[in-house]
Amino acid sequence: MLNKSLLIKALLSHDDKKTVHDKKEITNTNNVLEKVNAYQEKPRSVTNRVVSKNTPRIQTTPIEKAAFPERQYALTLDPLSKFVIAFTFATAVVAALYFVATTGTHLNRANNESEQIKENDSAPKIVMQNAEADKTKQAKADLGIGEVNAAKANQQTQSAVSAPTGAIAETAQAPKERERQRNQNIELSHQAEARLQPAQPIAPRQLSTQQRAQLTATLKIIPGQITFTVPTDDVEAQNFAQMIADALYDAGWTIQGVNVELLANMPVGLTIRSLISTPHTSLLLRSLRSVGFDVSWSMDQSVPAGTIVLLVGSKP
């Protein structure tokens, strides 16, 4: 129970202007004391409340402060309590953030797996769609080729119908063209075979009996002097020169010799050389040509006067 004297002192300190003889105030005070006593008699647990700077302060009167001194301690916290509360709050925040992050990771993983499953399910469908598209393209391409071929066939048919005369003429010329082509192919085949065959050796020049007799009879008209010159490395030319020398000897010509020399330029055929053109050179030239040999004449200042040189070169 509260002491009435203490309460009266509190009232006096609260309002100096009031007098202690104010009965009305005393009556009110008594009523308050009765209510306070009734409140204190009820069993209750006092819980410290956390009061922040933003929490509105409880408006108390001096009487209430005197009656309830424990309320002064309910509005303040010691440092340990503040630390415990702050640590608990921080732990709760960290736990909430971890929960949010973990939940987001699981959701992303679930979404990725769901998308992968959808892609795997849609892959066969895409393959089938591509295959169908390829078949459709191929069918269209085949159809286009068929239409082109049909158009070409129609064009050829129209050309054949519109030009029967030309077709008949071409049909008549076909056998001749085939025959000409066949003959041309045969000729080309023979030429190819001739090129593939080994080269036939050149037959040596000969002076037949008839040629020798004719040559001897002609040269007997004007006998003269003659010298033969042949290359050293041509046996065929040496033998042919000897045959002509024998025929001239029978005609009464003087054979001064058959000289085998190393010639810088290999001569070809028969060449008559003399200082000037004489009746003997003219007769020999006409006689050799008459029996079928190709003979030429050239002036040579190195040949002595009155002498003829017959150069027998290789076979043409």
Among 74, 105, 129, the domain boundary falls at 74
Strand bridging mode 270-274 / 308-312: antiparallel
CATH number at residue 261: 3.30.70.2390
Residue 128: inside a domain:
no
Among 16, 50, 74, the domain boundary falls at 74
Residue 284: inside a domain:
yes
Range of the domain at 10: 4-74
Residue 87: inside a domain:
no
Asked whether the predicted pLDDT for residue 170 surpasses 80, the reply is no
CA gap 268, 185 in Å, rounded: 37
Residue 217: inside a domain:
yes
Residue 126: inside a domain:
no
CA gap 194, 2 in Å, rounded: 156
Residue 30: inside a domain:
yes
11-16 average pLDDT score:
58
Asked whether the predicted pLDDT for residue 48 surpasses 50, the reply is no
Asked whether the predicted pLDDT for residue 278 surpasses 70, the reply is yes
- Count CB-CB contacts under 10 A for residue 201: 6
CA gap 236, 255 in Å, rounded: 20
Contacts for 110-117 with beta carbons within 8 Å, 24 or more apart? none
- Considering the chain, what percentage of its residues have pLDDT values greater than 90? 23
Among 74, 94, 117, the domain boundary falls at 74
Give the type of residue at 202: I
Asked whether the predicted pLDDT for residue 256 surpasses 70, the reply is yes
* DSSP helix/strand/coil, 133: helix
Residue 260: inside a domain:
yes
**Domains in the chain, number:** 2
108-125 average pLDDT score:
68
Between 108 and 129, the more confident residue is 108
pLDDT of residue 218: 93
CA gap 74, 44 in Å, rounded: 15
How open is the CA angle 75-80-81, to the nearest 5 degrees?
Answer: 45
Residues 185-244: tens digit of each pLDDT: 887 777 776 666 655 567 899 899 999 999 999 999 999 999 999 998 889 999 999 999
pLDDT of residue 40: 61
pLDDT of residue 51: 47
Alpha helices in 163-276 (DSSP H): 164-196, 209-219, 235-250
Residue 131: inside a domain:
no
